[in-house]
Amino acid sequence: MNPFFILLLVWAAFWGRLGEALLLLAIVLWHETCHVLAAAVYKLPVTDIELLPFGGVARLEAFLQLNPKAEWIVAAAGPLGNLFLVGAAYGLAPYLAIDAYWFRFFVQANAGMALFNLLPCLPLDGGRVLRSLLVRTQGFAQATRAAARLGQACSVLLLGWGVYNVLYKRYNFILVLFAGVMLFAAARQELTNASYVFMRYLTARRQQLRLARVCAVKHLAATSESSLGEVLRSFQPPSYHLIWVVDLDGKVAGFLGELEVISALFEHGLSCKLGTLTMQKLS
């Protein structure tokens, strides 16, 4: 649990709102559970979950950016889970005796969490969906930087909105300022860690090869016009992959190892052609 969430619980208890804070904690747990279930569909192991007041961060062992489709589905599962609870609340309301205050709080908390997390900026779920789209044409590092900087911009707007409400005493501004500070800090961390996340994956893959010493190799043939995305979708772990690059006449133009392909993904994005990489390698 993030320390800011603990501070939120203490603050809520001081103001007599511990019940609302605990319900919010349960909603955050549900939100993260939806992420975990979506990751399980793709057999992606979750190493840990950090709970934040506006959602959470589920960290995966796999390098999810190798499969952009899986990244956006796992990211979208959390907000969709909250929207499901909103629909379920309205569907069951006629059949259950629910206090109007708690019903309204439950619906607003779920809807607010879903909408806030759909903002297209890291580390929010919407930012991960945006990155999964950007990484198709850009490198992972560049896509991460773009989404994280958008997150910092959104946090500045939230802080400005909070200060505005402090000056004009319009309504309870604490949560707005709180969300702004949290979002800025989390976006900055995503920006800082972008290169380290990818290097950690490469290091783990190299370590796996070093420990195995000998492993099965899978050969793939691809034309020089094939993109990195097309090649990566053909990878079948735990085999190590060698890609033979052939020109349009069927002549071998060169070959690439798996780690070379993944490194190129980091620099050039999924749309980069194999012919470009082989030319760079020969030069």
Q: What residues pair up with 32 in beta bridges, in sequence order?
A: none
- Tokens found for residue 47: 């190493």
> Of residues 32, 71, 190, 258, which has the active-site annotation?
32
Nearest Cα to 55, choosing from 83, 85, 31, 38?
31
- Residue 179 CB-density burial (10 A; 0-12 exposed, 13-18 middle, 19+ buried): buried
32 flagged as catalytic: yes
Token readout for 145 is 């930087």
* Burial of residue 92, with CB atoms counted within 10 A of its CB: 0-12 exposed, 13-18 middle, 19 or more buried: exposed
CA 202 to chain centre: 19
Going by C-alpha positions, the residue among 101, 64, 103 that lies closest to residue 86 is 103
Q: Residue 40: how many CA atoms within 13 Å on its side-chain side?
A: 6
What is the sign of the dihedral through the CA atoms of 142, 148, 151 and 152? negative
Give the Cα separation of 19 and 22 in Å (integer). Answer: 5
Q: Residue 272: what residue type?
A: C
Is the distance from CB of 253 to CB of 278 less than 8 angstroms?
Answer: yes
Catalytic residue list:
32
